[in-house]
Each structure stands twice: as structure tokens, then as C-alpha cells.
Structure 1
């Protein structure tokens, strides 16, 4: 731990991500000037905000990047996460940030450089490569099935989808099954589980998503960019999803998150709307 400077007022925003309507997406706390704060101070503030993630914006160390971000949950630092990427970009632009390249900014995080583009009135990030993918051990799948309250055979497929958070993705047969889950978190202890199932054709969103984090204060995440990124790479890559689709998440929590997925060339873009709900200063 290093010595922090004397506390001072720092610009701050709280952003609702993956929703154009305030208070219907996933909130993110953004400290727009994290200069001089060490990890201990950042972690303490992130724990205090009591949100799923809090970010701190810093000058980049890579000349290709527009800014650098550190991402904290209430208990740990993540190398990458999806809704913090979009929310941080939204806050940075709203504070007057000017990208080095027209139409696209570059965020530096512990996982590397992440491109963020303007997609109409939305922002979208290029999904980072998965650092772990592939089959899930049968013992873990048995625990997940128990935790989801489903027979094992109703888990149609599963894959590790690690791009920062260590997600396990589970495919169900329908969005209705996804929404009916009443999770047993104790049965899934130690696993981060994302579940996805298709909506009927023509019903609006193509897929319904829920993500469960046993042991975390926010056991079900409202809308999860990192999981949707990994799920899109998995499902598009295996032909189970079209190259462009809309995912709904947060329905079971009374939210209305919408995640826009588009595969273009070698990239899978994960996009959504964001809206600033609180702007001001914090003493740090």
C-alpha cells in the first residue's frame, strides 16, 4: 500500500448502463480522476458504494489509449468487465473527453486495450479474447443443475467463458426456463454462472440472460456485459445464434436491460445505451 494524497473533491458520475431509461439498467460508479489513489483506497470506496462495480479513470500508460480504467467490485479488482467499460466510456465522453480517433476510443485496462465505438446513440465495445473456454467438468455441471433447480439434461450445453470474470455459460432451451429459475446459491458456491435461452421468433429480444454470483453481495447481476460478450462469442461461433441479435437481461429483477450484439469480421461488438443519473464530486 502506498500513501494516498490528502482527500480532495474529485469529479464523479453514477451511470445506468444497458438502458436508455434511468434506473432500469445496471448502475456504475465512476470516479473521473483517480490519480494518486492506491488500490486500497479504490477498493475501500468501491466497497462503500455497494454497487456491483466502481471504476477509476486514470491517464493511460499506453500511447494508443485514450484513458486507463481500474475496475473494482466490492471485494476485488477485475482486469476487465463489460458494463464498467461502457459506463466509463460514457462518463469520460460526458466529461469532455475527446478520442484520438474519430468514432472510436481506446480504453486501457488490466486485460489490455479495448476498443469502444459509437453505434448510433449507443456505445459498443469489442469483446476481448476469451482466456479460457471449452468444456466444463461434469461435477461442476451437476452442481450448477442443482443450483438452477433443473434436471441435468435440461442444460443443453455449457462452456467456460473467461474474459476477466470467470464465467461458466449455460444454454437452456427457452427464455421461459431462464426466467423461471429460482437459484440455490449454496449449491453453486464458488462458481459464476450465466444462463441464456432463446425467446420465440418475433417476440422482441432474441435471448434472455441471467447471471448468478454466489457469495457476492449482488448475487444476481442486473445486466452483465462481460458474460454477454463471452456468450456471444460462444453461441455465434457454434452457430446457435445469428451474427446480430438483442439480449434482454434484468427482467427477473424488474430491470429492462438490453444488450446489442453484432459480429463483424473478427470482432464481436457488445453495445447498449447509457444514461448519467448522478453527477457531482466525491471526497477521496
Structure 2
């Protein structure tokens, strides 16, 4: 059976930047093994398969795969699929924005998309809040895994921590952009960090430092997930979502709406920008919203 696919660059408005994504349309009838083989063939950090929704009032159901395993949720597949589906909707361009729900394993994700000229910008609200895993790694172990000195780990109140929004991340604050650029993942050091007992699997390493080129809550980041077949990721929306938990843990945020900007992929030559919005009420995190742009890159047909 011929199945259409589209590739997009996500978390960017510029072709050949951001995080590449493959979206397989007409995915109904593919089993898990076939989806995994197709994702391995594309060999991108994620490939998303578009299926009919369980509830007809929603736009689609998504299944998300890295080259080696399925994920319950990931941010750049949601942004990219939302933009693509809005562009292919006959109503796109007739209104300022298109709103619909997308089903993923962790729940229903409400999306709002604005489109124009083969590209678009989407935002979505998480169906769950970040969970603190209470298994903070030792600074020395993290430093060894990254080829850095322990003195380069941490800034302000920030220390290594673990949070999850389905996928789990070990967040590593670095004292400078120079340390962020110099970090190199050591496989033995990564293995020594072990699994998170809450999930029974390793957590990806997400490094972040204060962005000197911006004001407010702006950060630069890198993400390594060798256990998922991803040596380094140009943009990681699920990590940005879980980063809201980091902000709640280490930043003195008051009630109200807070905007966070994260630049990623710079060291890879794939600059990306991810928006994170936190709404805090009565001292507690109320909602997390992720936003970003996407641009169409190619389309074709899978003959499987």
C-alpha cells in the first residue's frame, strides 16, 4: 500500500534549521513493528504516524517513534503534525487560527495553529503537568558523563534534577555557554548514571545554561539520548515541557503567566527556538504551553 509522507523542519521558520520530522499519513493498518521499521528507515529523532482519532470530534491520533522505540509523547512531532494537518485543512487561511485536539498516549492535546504559505506556528497545552522524579543525580557523576569539571555544573539555585512528562529527563544546569558547547557525552559515564526507578529506564540528558543574548528567562540547551537512538537532538519539546518543573523547583516565580525561551541545536548547526509558557496560581503550576514554528520541506510516498 502506498502511504504519503511529509517532512518538516520544526521549531524554526527557516528551512534546514530546527528539528527534522517525518510525518506518515495514511498510517492506518500499520502494526507497531512496521512503524518502528519505518522510523528506523527515516532515522530522524522522531517519526510520527497519523491515525484516525478514537473520538471523531478530534483531528487525529498520533503514534511517535524514535529510531529504536515508541514514545508516549514528544513535542516536535505534535507541533509538526499540527501544522501539517492545519495546512491540509480546507479551512486553513480562512481564519486567524485553527483549533483542534490530537490524541497521544498521555492524553488529548489541544492545539491552536496559525498557517501561511507552507509554514505555520502552533501552540499546545500539556494534558499533564511535569512530575518531579525525586532521584537527583550526583554532580560528580553528571560531570564525568559530560567530560566537564564538577565546578562547571550548576548556577544560582539550579542543580541537577530529574523531571518527566512521559519521557524522563535528567536536567543539568551548566555555569556557562562555554561549558555547554564543550560538553561531550561519555557512553560509560552515561551508563553509570543508571535508570530512574520510577520509570525503569535511563533518562535523557538535557543540558542548559543562561542565554547571554537575551533578557528574562532565556536559556540555551542541548539534549543527548543515546538509549533512544538519538545522539543529540536539535530541539526537544517534551524536555522543554518538563523544564517547567525545573523552573518551579529552582526559580522564585510568583503567581501569573511566565514566558521561557529555549534555544537548542546551535552546536549542531540546526538552531531551534522553543517557547514555554507557565501559568502559576496559588503558588502551584496550573498549565504548561509549548509553542513553535514549522516549515514544510518535502513530501513523497512510502511503498510499504
> Cα deviations across residues 174-210 of structure 1 (Å, max 9, x unaligned)?
3333223122233112441101111236479811010
Q: CA deviation at 1:130?
A: 4.4
- Return closer, same or farther for 1:184/1:118 CA change in 2, 3 Å cut-off: same
The answer to which of 221-230 and 160-169 deviates more is 160-169
Q: CA deviation at 1:219?
A: 0.8
Which whole-Å CA distance do the structure 1 matches of 2:11 and 2:269 have between them? 14
Check conservation: 1:128, 1:163, Cα contact below 8 A. Answer: no
Counterpart of 2:79 in 1: which secondary structure? helix
Q: CA deviation at 1:97?
A: 6.8
Q: CA deviation at 1:237?
A: 5.6
Which whole-Å CA distance do the structure 2 matches of 1:205 and 1:251 have between them? 18
Is residue 213 of structure 1 aligned with residue 225 of structure 2? yes
- Return closer, same or farther for 1:60/1:85 CA change in 2, 3 Å cut-off: same
- Return closer, same or farther for 1:158/1:128 CA change in 2, 3 Å cut-off: farther
> Cα deviations across residues 70-126 of structure 1 (Å, max 9, x unaligned)?
001111111101111111111212222769xx6422110111111212368511121
Is residue 110 of structure 1 aligned with residue 112 of structure 2? no
Could you list the structure 1 runs, at least 4 aligned residues long, displaced by more than 6 angstroms after superposition.
none
The correspondence of residues 193-272 of structure 1 with structure 2, limited to 5 A, is 193-200=205-212, 202=214, 206-236=218-248, 238-239=250-251, 243-264=258-279, 266-272=286-292
TM-score for both structures, normalised by structure 2: 0.81
1:3 aligns with none
2:147 aligns with 149
Structure 2, unmatched stretches of 5+, are 192-201, 281-285
Structure 1, unmatched stretches of 5+, are 1-7
> Cα deviations across residues 21-74 of structure 1 (Å, max 9, x unaligned)?
111111111011111111111111111111111111111113552210000111
Q: CA RMSD in A?
A: 2.5
Which whole-Å CA distance do the structure 2 matches of 1:107 and 1:137 have between them? 32
TM-score for both structures, normalised by structure 1: 0.87
2:171 aligns with 169
